[in-house]
Amino acid sequence: MTKPWMSAYFLGGGWRDCAFEYFREGVEICRLVPGEPELALLRYQPGASVPRHRHVGMETILVLEGSQSDEYGHYPAGSLVANPEGTIHSVTSEEGCVVLIQWTRPVEIL
């Protein structure tokens, strides 16, 4: 039987026990629920970025530690960000961060 993921686990730092793997330069991923939609953790190294991309589906992010920024703002720990289908942006994390992310479809790098 699969157990549900509880917010207290993530907010309490339980994600530190997760096994991360390479995702892109400076960003690692821990796939919690693969597929579409996908639920994962992304860990950005300080200075890491994701190039300009278009969301082909809905993406929701909860910043668990550190902060990240895009053309629309700066998001410290505790921020909940929703990027609807059609959103175009790039992401940077000057200090590094860990985010809980769910997307319904992979993004299109521009």
Query: CATH no. for residue 72?
Result: 2.60.120.10
Average pLDDT, the chain: 92
**Above 80 in pLDDT, residue 86?**
yes
Q: pLDDT band at 3, cuts 50/70/90? A: low
pLDDT of 20 reads 95
Stated as kind and residue range, the H or E segment containing 104 is none
d(CA 41, CA 56): 19
- 96 assigned to some structural domain: yes
**Above 50 in pLDDT, residue 47?**
yes
Non-local CB neighbours of 93 within 8 Å, separated by 6+ positions? 44, 45, 46, 47, 48, 49, 66, 67, 68, 69
Whole-prediction pTM value?
Answer: 0.91
Domain that holds residue 76: 26-109
pLDDT of 1 reads 38
Mean pLDDT over 22-51 rounds to: 93
- 89 assigned to some structural domain: yes
Please tell me the total count of domains within the chain: 1
